[in-house]
Amino acid sequence: MSHQTKTQIRLAAELNETLFNQAHAYGMEYLNEVTTRTVFPSTQAIHNLTIFDEPLPKDSAPATEILELLNEHGAPATVAQMGGRYFGFVSGGSVPAGLAAKSLATFWDQSSAMYVQSPLVSVLETVVESWLQEAFGLPHETVAGFVTGSSAANFCGLAAARFRILTTLGWNVNQNGLRNAPQVRIVTGRHAHSTVVKALMLLGFGKNDIEWVDVDAQGRLIVEKLPPLGADTILILQAGNVNSGAFDPFTEINQVVKDSGAWIHIDGAFGLWANASNELNHHTKGIEFANSWAVDGHKTLNTPYDCGIVLCNDRDALTSALHMVGDYIVYSEQRDGMLYTPDMSRRSRIIELWATIKSLGKTGMSEMILNMHRRAVQFAKEINKVEGFAVLNEVVFNQVMVMCNTDEITNTVLSKIQQDGVCWAGGSVWFGRKVIRISVCSWVTNEADITLSVNSFKKALE
């Protein structure tokens, strides 16, 4: 008879239906009240988090007590991103099927590295890859890597770009590194997202390496300001300005650069999904001419959080840039997911991504994304009627920028909005002026949510 430790006996006893029913009950309790609670936690709820501040426990704790502690003191201190009035960052809600699939997949605890570790994950990644090709209108040879978010997706796409350009210039970066490597030019608009700059720095490029291109009043790259490009150049474009929601003029840009040999990368964290809407896909016309794309599922598509995607039409460049070797690795003739991402140990986020797309279908995706746009337009119309506020951007997608008469008033009003708790918006800077940024990106948000939120803005100003 094999000997079992006390810990083994205790853990085995806790692996029971009662414990997980308790977790499920707490989760449903949270979902049932999240749309009506204040968006940001109260001062008292945040203060109560001190209960978690303790030395490393010496003794074990019962799992049921741990769940009770999280439910009593953790849940009240969360931000209600699952509700319809969280506009602070481009953080979407969760489609029910995706949330439930993530919960189920938690029990399976699958690794996504190799086919032999999870045939299910390999098959779902292959299927969703083809779905994404269709949803975004990308070439059939486009491959996908499933990462944490668009920060990682931008890194992967730009790593592929660096590999391909240096290879074209006769330099094997995997063997020789970057010392004495040919110069790679980086060209992008002045409103490029900070995650793009971060990715470039991780890849060995400095801010001073970037050739900045002027943008128009909406943050779109001005085509006439583009410098001559060549096969030594990475051109980084944007589908969805983080403040204004504007899209670079892809078709016009392609007409200028298509024969240059430059690698085109599009940061489309939330805006690329406009292509899935029949009424909004004119904004993304021309994206198929790029070489790589970065996009999030947990933004506009409303998968559970931690779901980024890199897409690339040069499989060899992506896998070569992110490759790894090891005598213990078991490659297969099927999809081995680690070839398309920087990490090997990676949770099976593809399960909830597949479930979300399966749940919505083409029609549902189009309708959900269009509703976000319509609610953003509604917000702009209603806030424009309130004296003391001004909308600064053309509401082309899901972003609205609002300012008051002075930066000081804008900052004060924003603080009061956040304290009020009816909704939550964030601040930003637009051409030197302080603004309040509203990002409408949850399937839950309805007309009443917008009106309540606008009234909160009005109350804060008064």
Q: Would you list the domain boundaries of the chain?
A: 6-75, 100-357, 362-461
pLDDT band at 92; cut points 50, 70, 90: confident
Statement: residue 386 has pLDDT above 70? yes
The C-alpha atoms of residue 20 and residue 26 are separated, in whole angstroms, by 10
The C-alpha atoms of residue 318 and residue 159 are separated, in whole angstroms, by 7
Statement: residue 253 has pLDDT above 80? yes
- The mean predicted confidence, pLDDT, of the chain is 95
Among 407, 405, 423, smallest CA distance to 459 is for: 423
394-452 pLDDT per residue, tens = 999 999 999 999 999 999 999 999 999 999 999 999 999 999 999 999 999 999 999 99
166-185 pLDDT per residue, tens = 999 999 999 999 999 999 99
Percent of the chain with pLDDT over 70: 99
In this predicted structure, what is the pLDDT of residue 3? 85
Percent of the chain with pLDDT over 90: 90
In this predicted structure, what is the pLDDT of residue 364? 96
Q: Which residues contact 355 (CB under 8 A, 6 or more apart)?
A: 95, 97, 98, 100, 101, 102
- Kindly provide the residue ranges of all beta strands, DSSP E only, lying in 82-190, ordered along the sequence: 143-147, 185-189
The C-alpha atoms of residue 450 and residue 378 are separated, in whole angstroms, by 7
Please compute the mean of the pLDDT values over residues 26-47 and round it to a whole number. Answer: 94
Statement: residue 327 has pLDDT above 90? no
In this predicted structure, what is the pLDDT of residue 1? 53
The C-alpha atoms of residue 170 and residue 193 are separated, in whole angstroms, by 31
In this predicted structure, what is the pLDDT of residue 373? 98
Please compute the mean of the pLDDT values over residues 200-226 and round it to a whole number. Answer: 97
Read off the tokens for 54: 């303790």
Pseudo-torsion of CA 101, 104, 108, 113, nearest 10°?
A: 20
CATH class for the domain made up of 100-357: alpha beta
Please compute the mean of the pLDDT values over residues 266-288 and round it to a whole number. Answer: 97
CATH number of 362-461: 3.90.1150.10
Please compute the mean of the pLDDT values over residues 337-366 and round it to a whole number. Answer: 94
What size, in residues, is the chain?
462
The C-alpha atoms of residue 33 and residue 113 are separated, in whole angstroms, by 37
pLDDT band at 345; cut points 50, 70, 90: confident
In this predicted structure, what is the pLDDT of residue 90? 86
In this predicted structure, what is the pLDDT of residue 88? 87
Statement: residue 349 has pLDDT above 90? yes
Please compute the mean of the pLDDT values over residues 234-247 and round it to a whole number. Answer: 97
- Count CA atoms within 13 Å of residue 188 on its CB side: 26
Q: Which residues contact 279 (CB under 8 A, 6 or more apart)?
A: 366, 370, 373
Q: Which residues contact 294 (CB under 8 A, 6 or more apart)?
A: 150, 153, 154, 156, 157, 265, 266, 267, 268, 269, 308, 309, 310, 311
